[in-house]
């Protein structure tokens, strides 16, 4: 799978050593006079969390009614599963391009802003969709925006997390992010109750505009997030976030002759990285999208249409709490904290595909808890498994595999839904058993690492 990189951090996930000096903020800019990060690493993570909160208000508000909305346009369960699965695949697979692009150009800010802008347009425009194909295109377009921005954004967050601790930084960001995912569906639920699905999408244009304004404010306050990392401060990071026009090539992206290329881009990741990617793929293949879950609620009349976004809001509230808790747990015990994820995922179909409203509400909480682990701790672990100069590529590669398998799993679950809930339960259970098997070597390697042996001594 590739040789073990020398500068990974998986043996000691988390923060810098106690007593490490607070990162400096000044780095040379394109004019040679310096560009100053006015926010501390913690304030930067929290400010970016506000941006993500507003963005999540938009796209999670929209996603809370995508399944039933597509159903009103004539979609079947298989079509809903395929459309939402394609969206997740696009959100992940295209990071194979956007991740390496971010690493090669170091234009982290412009790439992030472009991605957020695409999402800000794609969700409200669903209000004007008159056909199934138009709505499906907008759903996939929103996920395309996520594919563009996420590797660059996560790289900048990982730079700030060098001082805060990987799990802690991503947990804080995810908790703020998910607060928007909680509030957005609640607003949409009110609009659906008043005037139907189209008003629910249209009202999201307001937080979309606010998200872009907040993003520009954070960009001006922190032009060079790479300056937060000690190694980058020592070597200079003027181009690390698009502050200058320089387009440097990271180490490890050239071959023996000094040439760059896609084949070289994806070499050199550790065995643990690939094991972790396989574990993640197994868990997410059995993780139903909310589009399919909400389709079930609509066509089986389990809850009223106006309550479906509130079911999603419950899931997002639990997601935020689970993200915070699992992130802090990861900083303490590493991969061991991920053992709960396959168990939560295996329980979802027993609850969420029930026709009993009480079980559906419990299922929403369990689904949200699993999603919180996916969206916080799993991102933090990638930062510890790849070299700092390859994080954009690492995130892109990891999420591409993640998205392809989620697309396959979502489509399969949508097709199995037409057969029986039992077939979904067996499918998901088998995949989660495989995931646990894949996690065992990671736990063993963590216990045998020098940092773990030192801690036990």
Q: State the Cα–Cα distance between residues 270 and 397, nearest whole angstrom.
A: 13
Average pLDDT over residues 362-384: 85
Burial of 429 (0-12, 13-18, 19+ CB in 10 A): middle
Q: Show contacts of 307-311: CB within 8 Å, 24+ apart.
A: 307/189, 308/64, 308/65, 308/67, 308/68, 308/189, 309/61, 309/64, 309/65, 309/185, 309/186, 309/188, 309/189, 309/192, 309/200, 310/185, 310/186, 310/189, 311/360, 311/361, 311/364
* Burial tier of 186 (Cβ tally within 10 Å: 0-12, 13-18, 19+): middle
pLDDT in tens, 100-140: 888 888 899 999 999 999 999 999 999 999 899 999 999 99
Residue 10 has pLDDT above 50, yes or no: no
Q: Sign of dihedral through CA atoms 137, 139, 140, 143?
A: positive
Does the pLDDT value for residue 365 go beyond 90?
yes
Contact indicator for 157, 380 with CB cutoff of 8 Å: no
Q: Which two tokens stand for residue 331?
A: 């900083």
pLDDT bucket at 267, cuts 50 / 70 / 90: low
More confident residue, 222 or 21: 222
Max mean pLDDT range (33-37, 227-231, 289-293)? 289-293
Place of tokens 């990189």: 5
Domain positions in the chain are 38-229+266-451
* Least confident piece of the model among 22-31, 82-91, 221-230, 392-401: 22-31
- State the angle between helix axes of 132-164 and 41-63 in degrees (0 to 180), rounded to the nearest 10: 160
Query: Is the pLDDT reported for residue 241 higher than 50?
Result: no
How many Cα atoms occupy the beta-carbon half-sphere of 346 within 13 Å?
Answer: 15
Give residue 400's pLDDT.
80
Domain 38-229+266-451 has CATH 3.90.470.10: no
Confidence check: pLDDT of 415 > 50: yes
pLDDT in tens, 166-199: 778 877 887 788 788 888 989 999 998 888 889 9
The pLDDT value given to residue 231: 62
How many residues are there in the chain? 457
Decide if pLDDT at 305 tops 80.
yes
Average pLDDT value for residue range 228-235: 62
Return the structure tokens found at 78.
Answer: 């298989």
Cβ contact 438:279 at 8 Å: yes
What does pLDDT average to over the chain? 81
DSSP annotation string for 307-371? GHHHHHHHHHHHHHHHHHHHHHHHHHHGGGGGGHHHHHHHHHHHHHT-S-HHHHHHHHHHHHHHH
Digit-coded pLDDT (tens) for 268-300 = 788 899 999 999 999 999 998 888 898 899 889
pLDDT for residue 246 is more than 70: no
Most confident option among 10-14, 100-104, 157-161, 200-204: 200-204
- Average pLDDT of span 85-97: 80
Coil, strand or helix at 26: strand
3-state SS, residue 408: helix
Dihedral sign computed on CA atoms, order 269, 275, 278, 279: negative
Kindly report the pTM of this predicted structure: 0.69
């Amino acid at each position: 799978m590739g040789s073990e990189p020398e500068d990974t951090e998986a043996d000691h996930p988390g923060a810098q050593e106690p007593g490490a000096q607070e990162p400096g903020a000044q780095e040379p800019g394109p004019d040679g006079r310096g560009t100053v990060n006015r926010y501390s690493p913690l304030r930067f993570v929290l400010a970016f969390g506000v941006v993500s909160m507003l963005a999540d208000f938009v796209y999670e508000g929209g996603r809370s009614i995508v399944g039933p909305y597509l159903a009103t346009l004539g979609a079947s369960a298989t079509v809903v599963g395929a459309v939402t699965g394609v969206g997740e695949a696009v959100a992940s697979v295209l990071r194979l391009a956007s991740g390496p692009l971010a690493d090669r150009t170091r234009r982290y800010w412009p790439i992030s802003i472009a991605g957020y802008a695409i999402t800000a347009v794609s969700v409200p425009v669903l209000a004007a969709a008159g056909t199934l194909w138009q709505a499906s295109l907008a759903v996939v377009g929103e996920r395309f925006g996520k594919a563009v921005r996420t590797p660059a954004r996560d790289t900048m967050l990982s730079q700030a997390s060098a001082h805060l601790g990987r799990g802690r930084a991503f947990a804080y960001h995810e908790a703020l992010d998910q607060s928007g995912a909680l509030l957005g569906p609640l607003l949409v639920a009110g609009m659906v109750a008043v005037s139907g699905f189209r008003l629910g999408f249209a009202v999201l244009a307001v937080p979309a505009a606010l998200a872009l304004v907040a993003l520009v404010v954070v960009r001006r306050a922190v032009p060079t997030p790479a300056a937060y990392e000690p190694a980058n401060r020592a070597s200079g990071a003027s181009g690390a976030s698009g502050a200058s026009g320089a387009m440097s090539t990271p180490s490890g992206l050239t071959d023996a002759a000094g040439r760059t290329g896609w084949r070289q881009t994806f070499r050199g990741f550790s065995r643990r990285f690939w094991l972790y990617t396989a574990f993640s793929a197994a868990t997410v293949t059995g993780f139903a999208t909310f589009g399919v879950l909400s389709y079930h609620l609509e066509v089986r009349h389990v809850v009223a249409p106006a309550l479906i976004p509130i079911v999603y809001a419950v899931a997002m509230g639990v997601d935020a709490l689970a993200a915070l808790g699992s992130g802090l747990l990861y900083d303490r015990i590493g991969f061991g904290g991920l053992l709960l994820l396959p168990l939560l995922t295996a329980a979802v179909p027993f609850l969420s595909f029930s026709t009993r409203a009480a079980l559906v509400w419990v299922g929403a909480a369990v689904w949200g808890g699993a999603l919180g682990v996916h969206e916080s701790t799993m991102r933090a672990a990638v930062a510890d498994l790849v070299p700092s100069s390859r994080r954009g590529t690492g995130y892109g590669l990891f999420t591409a595999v993640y998205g392809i398998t989620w697309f396959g799993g979502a489509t399969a679950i949508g097709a199995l839904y037409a057969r029986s809930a039992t077939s979904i339960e067996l499918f998901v259970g088998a995949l989660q058993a495989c995931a646990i098997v894949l996690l065992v070597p990671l736990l063993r390697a963590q216990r045998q690492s020098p940092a773990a042996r030192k801690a036990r001594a």
